[in-house]
Structure 1
Amino acid sequence: MPTLSIAEVQARLPELIDQLQPGEELVITRNDQPVAKLAVQGARSVPVPGWGQGMVIIHTEDDEHLRDFAEYMPRTFHS
């Protein structure tokens, strides 16, 4: 959770509000002690199919590398 002083928040409030995502919080401090939280209201973003495309790279086409994860996978993937 990001932390900023009151002075920093006063100087950048509109920018900070624009940068915060719904559900995210910013801790505001005075003399290095937390005194408040800034949170933006709004609906949480809904996952859209395809947003993660290209974020995972599979270097092999076999299932051998998946054996270490067998206990976490559905039964159909166990070897």
Structure 2
Amino acid sequence: MLFTVHKAKSQLSKLIDAALAGEEVVIAKGTKPVVKLVAIPQSRFKLGVLEGKVGNPPDFLEPLSTEELDAWEGK
């Protein structure tokens, strides 16, 4: 898709939707292409997805018991 700057200004929402749909959107000054509108990939990472499914992780800030501390110290 090739649009002039003037036409792109009046149809920006449509051009953004086209870019998000994977179409190549090029904006030209006169007849010379100068920029390409490209969608930014969105992250699908979500915190807490496995919450409650993998059990309780250890609390690494909790002090060790005497037996665990002795085992770490080789006693």
Question: Normalization by structure 1: what TM-score?
Answer: 0.45
Rg larger for: 2
Question: Normalization by structure 2: what TM-score?
Answer: 0.47
